[in-house]
Every structure is written in structure tokens, then in C-alpha cells.
Amino acid sequence: MLRAYPSRLSRFSLTRLRMKQQIYLAIVAALLVAFLLTFAFSRYVVQPSTRNTAAYATLAKFVSDALPPLGAPEAAQAAVVKDWVARTRAAIALYDPNRKLIVAAGHRQLPAPPASQTTDGWVPGESNVYAAVLPDERWMVVAVEGRGNLVTFELALLLIMLFVGAGVYPVVRKLTRRLEKLQHTVAEFGAGNLSVRVDAAGGDEVGMLARSFNHSAGQLEALVKAQKSLLANASHELRSPLARLQMAVGLMGGDAERADEINRNIRELDELIDEILLASRLDSPQAMQGLQLVPVDLNQLLRDECSRYGATFSGDEGHIVGHPVLLQRMVRNLLENARRYGAGAPIEVRAARVDGVEMEFSVWDRGPGVPPAEMERIFERFYRVPGAKESAGGVGLGLSLVRSIARQHRGTARCVARPGGGSGFIVRLPLE
């Protein structure tokens, strides 16, 4: 157990803290170090240097000269001691030759010099306490009031450190709040909201970084808009010659089988253009904005589409909120995929409630199945499982659209292996 502590400590790093915490802790640590150094300097350098031996010895000499002899009443000796305490505001204690207290006065109780001390000098272990042996072997212990000023200085220094520590936090927080806003903006931009910008006020490095980000974001937004515009215009222009080709094939007559093949290819091109445009629109996180979202009876939608494809359906009732056309497109793409690769076997569609908050529907086929390593890649655009024949149709956009539509409805789509052979495509969507 003891060996675990070093590894835990070694894993701790300031970089794990937020920037505001790092800056604030660095300032507080610097203030604490400054306080400790000043405290040590005042205790071990400034205070010892105030030990003026000659002054203390002179004070002790004056008091001893004014004292009555050893045998005088204690009241007389106490009167002299208190008189000098009143004059000098020092602390004075008088001990007999046996180091027994006779009288003490002043701001503190002074101890008797230890037995090891036999001559005038500083009392060992005490701060600024001087002991002088009188001719009659009495001991006088003296301490001048000065420590209070030093303590006051130390307390003032501590208060300054606390006030600075408290006052610097709003400054640090203001700086890091701008960085946090920049971070959130960058995250939103990365999620697809290309129109978002950050406040670029200020002439410091944060403001410069914000202006640099806004400039780059503007260029990227313009580039993406130009790309989408080009794609939309090109798709529109492609449909015109396709329509003319279809009309020309119809007027041409001749070989019906060849004409059917040409018409099939034209329809595939037209569907491809439609899917590319839809995929481009679904790229944006604002794709659902401006669309009318309504409650959709998912059970009825699945039944209607299953009847078109001859698939069997079973499941629970459930309503979701979404765009009916997009949801219909998602279901049709899954059914079309199952019919295309299902080797003519019956298609099964099931629906069920999950934990009372989601609606799950699945489409099952008895095709060759999808290798586990390809189950995620088949949702990529224009990707098809190796070995898939082009004659089967499709260009690899259908499943990509399924996942995009599911995500735009705050749902998920995944592929699983079907027991006994084949594949299953499972979609989860939040209930209304």
C-alpha cells in the first residue's frame, strides 16, 4: 500500500487544473513564499540585531544603583522596580541570590536565569531578555518592549497577503473567462456552426487570438458556402441534361431492353444527385432549423413502408417528434439496402420501446452479412463493403444518410450481425 503513494503523487500535475486555478495558485504561492521569507528575516535577522547589549546593561546598572540593599523590605524594592518600569516601559524582574522572585513588573513575566548562567548576558532560550548579577548576588532580568511592533508588522504582512490574494482572483477570473468563451466558441465552430464568432475586444494576446480565429472562421465559412453553392448549382445543371436524355431515349424507340437500361442509369444518377444534396444539407448542425417538426407515428410509418417493400412488421406503438419526409427517407434507405443485399429473403422490421424514453426499430435481412471490421465503415459516404457488385446498385450514400438523419433527430444508428446469418440495422430515436 505504501508503494502506491509515490505513483499517485507523480500523476498529479498543475496542467490538470484549469488555467484560472493555475494562475491563481501561482500568485498565492508566490505571496506565501514572500511572507515566509519576510517572517524568517524579521525573526532571525532583524530581531537578533536589536539586541543592544550596552543599552540593556546600562538600564540594569541604573536600576541596581537605585535599589535598596538586599535586606530592605520587598515593598521598597518593588517601588523602585515599578518606578523604572513606568519610566522605560520595560519589563523588570528582581530575583534573590537563590533565584527566587522578589518582585516583577512590566508588560510580561520574565523568567529567572538558568543555573548555568553565572554572569551578565542574554538569557538562553529567551528573546531579548537580559540578566545582570548585582554586587549582592541578586539577579535583575530586563526586557524592553519591542516585540509588539514586530508582531504587528507580521500581522500586517499577513493581512496584505490575504487582501492581495482575494483581490487578484477577479483579475485572474476575468482573463480566463475570455479564454473559456474562446474555447466554447471553437468547440461550437468545430461542431459545424460556421457562423459563430468570438468577442475580439482588447489589445492583448487573447484579443489577438480571437481576431485571428474570427478571420480564419470567416474564410472557412466563405469556402464552405462556395462549395455548397457550387454543389447545388452543379446538381441543378446536371438534372437538365438527364431529363433531356430520358426524353430522347423515349423518343428514340428501338431496342426496349437497352432503353430500359439507359433509363435505369438515368434514374440512378438522378437519385445520386438528390442524395448528395441531402447529405450536404444534413452536414450542418442547423439542418433541422426552419423545418416543421411534428409528432410522427413511427409505428404507422414503418407499416406503410413495409407494405411497399413486402417486409413483415411487428412491434410497439410509439410517437416521436421529427420531420416526416426525412424519417420516411431513413426507413426507405434501410429497406432498400435490405432488399438489395438480402438475397431475396424476407425482410423483417421490428419496433420496441426502450426504457420508456426511446423508440427502437430494426431492419433484418438474410444477406451475406457485414464483417465486424466493416460495421462502422459502411456508414461512411461512398463506402461499400469489398466484393459488393456494382450491378446491385447504390453508391454508398444510403446508410450514411440513415445515420445523419438519426443524429439530426438526436438518435443513433448501428449495424449488428444477425444470428443465423444476415445483418440487422438498429435505429434509436427519443420518444415524443
Are 306 and 415 in the same domain?
A: yes
In a domain, 117, yes or no: yes
Number of domains composing the chain? 3
Domain identity same for 301 and 426: yes
323 and 398 share a domain?
A: yes
**In this structure, are residues 139 and 132 in contact, taking their beta carbons and an 8 Å threshold?**
yes
- Identify whether residues 211 and 307 lie together within a single domain: no
Q: What residues make up the domain containing 237? A: 205-282
- The residue out of 96, 121, 145 marking a domain boundary is 145
Copy the grid coordinates of residue 398: 444510403
- Confirm whether 1 is domain-assigned: no
User: The CATH number of the domain where 122 resides is what?
Assistant: 3.30.450
pLDDT tens per residue across all 432 residues of the chain: 344 444 444 444 545 666 667 677 777 777 787 777 777 766 665 555 456 778 788 888 888 888 888 888 888 888 988 888 888 888 899 998 999 998 998 888 888 999 888 888 888 878 778 899 998 889 899 987 655 555 666 677 778 778 777 777 777 777 778 788 888 888 888 777 878 888 887 777 778 888 888 888 888 888 777 777 766 666 666 666 667 677 777 766 666 777 777 777 777 676 667 766 666 666 666 666 667 788 989 889 999 999 988 999 988 888 888 888 889 888 988 998 888 888 788 999 999 988 888 899 999 999 888 888 888 988 888 777 776 655 555 567 788 888 988 888 889 999 999 998 899 999 999 987
Answer yes or no: do 347 and 309 share one domain.
yes
Does residue 238 lie within any of the structural domains? yes
Instruction: Identify whether residues 256 and 316 lie together within a single domain.
Output: no
Q: In this structure, are 303 and 421 located in the same domain? A: yes
Of the residues 233, 258, 282, the one at which a domain ends: 282
Q: Please enumerate in sequence order all residues whose Cβ is within 8 A of that of 327, keeping only pairs 6 or more positions apart, or say none.
A: 296, 298, 301, 320, 405, 409
Give the CATH number, domain containing residue 397: 3.30.565.10
Residue 124 covered by a domain: yes
- 42 found inside a domain: no
Residue at a domain's end among 237, 258, 282: 282
Same domain, 376 and 397: yes
Task: Return the residue matching grid coordinates 439496402.
Answer: 337
Tell me the C-alpha distance between 227 and 194, whole Å. 14
**Residue 66, domain member (yes or no):** yes
Same domain (yes/no): 274, 338: no
Q: Please give the Cα distance from 360 to 351 (Å, whole number).
A: 6
3-class DSSP assignment, residue 142: strand
Q: Is there a domain that residue 114 lies in?
A: yes
Q: Do residues 407 and 332 share a domain? A: yes
pLDDT at 18 (0 to 100): 66
* Whole-number pLDDT of residue 2: 43
Same-domain status, 323 and 217: no
- 418 falls within a domain: yes
- Provide the H-helix boundaries in 285-413: 298-309, 324-341, 398-408
Residue 127 shares a structural domain with residue 250 = no
Q: What CATH number did the domain enclosing 251 receive?
A: 1.10.287.130
For residue 280, the model assigns a pLDDT of 67
Q: pLDDT value at position 424?
A: 92
